[in-house]
Amino acid sequence: MSEYTRKPWIRVGRIDEIPEDQALRLDTTPPVSVFRSDGEFFCVDDTCTHEDFSLADGWVEDGAVECPLHLAKFCLRTGAALATPACRPLATHEVRVDGADVYVRIERGGDDRVDGHCPGAIGSNAGRRDAEGAGHGMA
């Protein structure tokens, strides 16, 4: 993909608007959130892949975010699901810090869904959609 066809950088806010272990949510569709953990900034999809919950309201610790509803956990760097009941990863997005400002670039390629059943998510909404091949979980 050339630089010309890529999506533009979006300004999220000032660094100090995202304190350590907190997140700032962007109302894109679907929403994404920028997290700060150990001084580093990360951008991932905001909605937990288990059920529906805004991970900006989650618990951030050691580069991971935990969903308070049923305690699924995601790696902020890779988006990987680290703890059940979620098993599908979060989409990750580029982050750039420019001076005191934070920017993100949200690109959604093709299908970033992990195929197949979701053994950990017993009877979850996400699991059902996957099993039926009914399309993207979140998109």
Partner 1 sequence: MFDVTELVQPDQGLINPSIYTDPEVYQGELERVFARSWLFLAHDTQLAKPGSFVQTYMAEDPVLVVRQRDGSVKAFLNQCRHRGMRICRADEGVARAFTCTYHGWGYNLAGELVNVPMQDRAYHDEIDKSKWGPTQVPRLHNHKGFIFGTWDESAPAFEDYLGDMIWYFDALADRYDEGLTLVPGATKWVIDCNWKFAAEQFASDMYHVPSSHASALVALIEDPAVLAEFQEQSAAAPGRQYAGNGHGSGFGLRPDLVPTQAGPDFDAWVVANREQIYRRIGEHRALAVNGHNTVFPNFSWLTINNTMRVWHPRGPGQIEVWSWTYLPKDADERAKQAVRTSTIRTFSAAGVFETDDGENWTEIQQVLRGHQARKTTFNARMGLGHERHGTDGMPGRVTDDMYTEMAARGMYRRWADLMSGLSWPEITERDKSRQQREQEAHLA
Is residue 52 within the footprint of partner 1 (CB under 8 A)?
A: yes
Which CB, 50 or 113, lies closer to ligand FES?
50
Binding letters toward ligand FES, positions 82-111, x by CB under 6 A: ---xx-------------------------
Within 13 Å, how many C-alpha atoms sit on residue 29's CB side? 0
Query: Strand ranges (DSSP E) for 15-112?
Result: 23-26, 32-37, 40-45, 59-61, 64-66, 73-75, 81-83, 92-98, 101-105
Number of neighbouring beta carbons within 10 Å of residue 57: 15
Is residue 69 within the footprint of ligand FES (CB under 6 A)?
A: yes
Tokens of 101: 């400002």
Which CB, 35 or 103, lies closer to ligand FES?
35
Q: How far is CA 64 from CA 10, 38, 41, 71, 130, in A?
A: 23, 10, 12, 12, 25
Location of structure tokens 């993909």: 1
Is residue 57 within the footprint of partner 1 (CB under 8 A)?
A: yes
Query: Residue 72 binds which entry of ligand FES, partner 1, none, with Cβ cut-offs from 5 to 8 Å by kind?
Result: ligand FES
Which of 9, 28, 70, 112 forms a contact with ligand FES (CB under 6 A)? Answer: 70
| Collapsed DSSP state (helix, strand, coil) of residue 42 | strand
Contact region for ligand FES (CB under 6 A) — 22-30, 66-74, 95-103, 127-135? 66-74
State the residues that interact with partner 1 by CB under 8 A.
Answer: 51-53, 57-59, 68-70, 123-125, 128
State the residues that interact with ligand FES by CB under 6 A.
Answer: 48, 50-51, 53, 67, 69-72, 85-86
